Structures are given as C-alpha cells and as structure tokens.
C-alpha cells in the first residue's frame, strides 16, 4: 500500500482514508454506504474480498478478509479444528467460519477512541497482515477441505518454507 498520505485525519470517518489509499493504489472498490467499503483483490494463493466497516458508536473499524475457499458441510468439523489450531498461533485477528457462511474468513477490529482517527500505516498494516495470514494458511485450508488431512498436519505442511526453484 502506498504511503505519503495524511498521517492522521482527525475525527472523520476512517473509511475516507481507506478509500483514498485504495484510489492511490488503483484498487477497485465499492463504497456501499458511509460505513462500509468492499474491495476485491488477488493474492498468490487465491482471491480475497476485503470488507471494512466503521462504527462511530464504538469508534471501531471492523475488517474482514474473505477467502475464495468453500467448505462443504461434511468437512466443517475438521475445519473448525483447523481454525482453533491456527487461531492459537495468531497474535492479531482470527479466522472463523461464520454460521451459514462457507468461506474461511480472517477478521480483525481496531478501536480508535481517543486516537483522533486511524493512520495510513495502521490501515496498511491491517490489510498487509490479513493478506499475509490468508496466504500463509491457504494451503492448510486446502489440505483439510480437499485433501482430507489432519488439521495439525495441514498447519505444519503449510508453514514449510520451500528451498530452491521448481
């Protein structure tokens, strides 16, 4: 994400800054309301949909990163175990599979009360962190959903760093 924008934008809606960052980076987005913004983006492993929601009432930004993976009903129990394994390793945010939703989703919220708004760096870090975690665990979800692997084994295999070139 590009830097060099305003470091702090006061008490205004942080989605205005998100919109400015996305525009500078030429990412297509949809601002469906004053409090919601959605952007589709591609990664190395899959396609992601980023969803930003602002609540002035609690001065918090909720951020979700939906994966393009779909979990069939029969694979949900091992995916729930995988989610618990992954979430136990994370410092920021978490993955979930909301009821009625078929897609593993990374979620994170930032409280901004008294901070006079979010900074460009905070917003960039939030997106960068979410995309990095989605990319890191994408193969673990694939191993469990389609490969029938054990969740612990899937996490271990997804965290291997390949050496050399194929």
Q: What is the pLDDT of residue 162?
A: 54
What is the residue whose two structure tokens read 């394994």?
Answer: 85
**Euclidean distance between CA atoms 23 and 15, whole angstroms:** 12
Q: What is the pLDDT of residue 3?
A: 41
- pTM summary value: 0.82
Q: What is the pLDDT of residue 59?
A: 87
Q: What is the pLDDT of residue 124?
A: 85
Q: What is the pLDDT of residue 141?
A: 95
Domains, the chain, with CATH or none: 14-158 (3.30.1460.70)
Q: What is the pLDDT of residue 164?
A: 53
**Euclidean distance between CA atoms 54 and 110, whole angstroms:** 10
Phi, then psi, of 140 in degrees rounded to 5: -65, -40
pLDDT along the chain (166 residues), means of 10: 40 84 88 93 88 91 93 94 94 87 91 76 87 93 93 85 54
């Amino acid at each position: 994400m590009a830097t060099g924008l305003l470091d702090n934008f006061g008490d205004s809606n942080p989605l205005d800054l998100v919109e400015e960052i996305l525009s500078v980076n030429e990412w297509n987005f949809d601002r469906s309301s004053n409090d919601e913004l959605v952007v589709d983006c591609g990664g190395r492993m899959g396609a992601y949909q980023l969803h930003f929601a602002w609540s002035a009432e609690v001065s918090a930004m909720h951020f979700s990163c939906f994966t393009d993976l779909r979990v069939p009903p029969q694979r949900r129990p091992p995916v729930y175990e995988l989610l618990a394994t992954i979430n136990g390793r994370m410092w920021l945010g978490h993955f979930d599979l909301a009821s009625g939703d078929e897609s593993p989703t990374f979620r994170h919220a930032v409280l901004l009360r008294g901070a006079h708004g979010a900074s460009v760096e905070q917003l960039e870090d939030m997106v960068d962190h979410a995309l990095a975690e989605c990319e890191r665990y994408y193969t673990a979800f694939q191993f469990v959903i389609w490969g029938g692997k054990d969740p612990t084994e899937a996490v271990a295999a997804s965290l291997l760093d390949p050496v050399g070139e194929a």
